Structure 1
């Protein structure tokens, strides 16, 4: 579509060097599928005494021949757009029909196999047992052993396990993809109903599943990818830019059952949900960084602050604080401007967690209370509530179509039609919000039940054996692992109090004797040394 191509560059360089009388192409559209040929190439070649010809267009610089070439250029440009649209629609229809769109590389744990359906050649996914065992091991390290994504990548490299392309180095993003991609999580026929109701899967595709059969989901159309060219070091290279598409445009394509346990996958996903890297500054692990400690006023993540001062001996002393990033801006967007001494706050939070986990009945009682609260908010089972709301949306759609048909038959004028449609659209927006709320509560209820089964099934044994039987001597990295498994969220409030939320409950106050001492304004703003 453009002339920024290596082959075209060589031709233009030869013409510019002189001595070229004619540039001949097999077909006119091989020069470029753009109508700009007569505005760019022909004038450029004419300056050097070179003519541009093709075997499928008449020769000679006559008005009729120029019109013919101009028509061929316009048709080539039109044909390029038609081909691109035809390819796009073909892939879209193939995905909607439940057929896999093969990419350059399959998901790790799968491999491509070629089959023939009549005269049509199709590529399908097939489980690679050796690689899928690695995927299962990744989930176990995250969900059961509490390892970080970086720790999993290091372990895979230590075991000399190769990536999908045969590389030695494992990227943490690839490890996370093995956990978050739906192609690894088996779905039952009932679970596919959610995709059918959302318009992401055709009902006839979902009905192909046999009773008891499970499939993974390979998503198509989640991002729009555009390709452009750049010049680097005299070479033309392609770059891509991707933007997310609306969720309504996503298409769920069935994939083979990975054989993994859905509960194991859900547990691993819960661990990495909102996962942030553990913060390390000055060779110090910030135990409450990376999305554990938040400002109780504005909700922002607490940032780290490391001021220093020099003693008379010339030694530099560092101080470590947590503070709200909004509370220290010039306009003080958040009134919570206190700095928390990191050592004291971290000790208080760890003492709270140790005291909590040495009494597992507290965790179980909190989970039971949260489960009862979620059930009380639901009028019926989550799946039944979703179906009822989905049926209501379908009824509103039929009602809207009915108003349009009446208006087309002349029973409503424009003003009456607009009023009716506005009423229906307002009701639909309310129902959609309610449907989203029900889905969120259903997911929350499922997560709480899974956590209740996990903590009630002896999951605390690993904690009791930590640090040689003394959890208070755990390393900062071990403490972070505990916080991740508890889904701990600590909030620091203006009055100096700390509250904690997690699988044990929400808004639990952390009471420590030295709470006030953990609060300290930075000494530079106070005008004194710490």
Structure 2
């Protein structure tokens, strides 16, 4: 058996990660320290043919609990493309704190001939001992992550029981003290909150409250996120007003799941009024103002828009007299009753019928038919190639089993099951070996209703 030629040059990529963004603005931060350690390690292995790739793979402000990190994804792409032979990190938890995620990453590395090295833990996955040590350390890393998460949850629960607000999206009417983190009232914003509660209690209609608040010239809370992005400052709609009316903070409470506790912050709304508003909203719970629309499964979800105001058309349904009616409605009008749009709702059957009529014309264009034919043939070719590859592997395995009959290492049941697999594969190859014509593609595309049903079996024309 011919041995593989060992690579004389091993391209090394240093990956760094920091969970929080604090300190990244410094001239020499944690990412720089990790990179320096990795580069020094690569330099120490120069005699073994290790060279550093120029690309930087740095994830600042990303958790190790998942793999949704831009630099990590770029690293994986380069590994798959064969641009990286060794991944170097300061510690294994820089790459991932999840054992499941790390196992998947390691699978990608091994599949494309890449190794993994931890500078401070002397782990090299090119050896069996290194792989064993890696699995042990990753188990401890995941355990540590779960313990930290559990402690954070317990701390939040304990803090809320003591009435401490634990952050989150800034709330209209309050601001958080940068030092003590305690909530204090913002007078101008608090006045808007009181106006919303008073208006709703007086009118008793969520939709009409939205109209009145917008006419007063008030907007949602304006704030700048930690990443410097401006949020809020928009007109009110039913959803944003509803969130204000049900927020327990305004009555001086702190909520934790279904429980609520006496808060250390000052209330903006009188508790008796807050309770009256909750009772009023509960009495209107059967109305369309506060009820969430029931969504309907449809392939047109998110792709059809109102021709008058360009708002998205949302699918929903209703039951009347034991019969189900599905339709699309203008989402903007449902959120803001003052929104002037002549389109209120349209039956889903009519809308899907119009789409099918337009689709039938598009599907009959010569260019699309030709492209479809080529795509079918290419898919057929790829499927046959894959089945043929599987057939070859099964035949090789069958030959090994037959050779094992001599020394008695072969199980007859395994020979039987392997033979059955071979029969199925050959049958599939034969079934895929067919000829399709342009006329057959044209006939298939003429029946748009059948095509629609095939593509979207859950959707039914009303």
| TM-score interval for Structure 1 and Structure 2 normalised by the shorter chain | 0.3 to 0.5
Tell me the TM-score normalised to structure 1 length. 0.38
Q: Return the structure number with greater relative CO, CA threshold 8 A, min gap 6.
A: 1
Greater strand share, structure number: 1
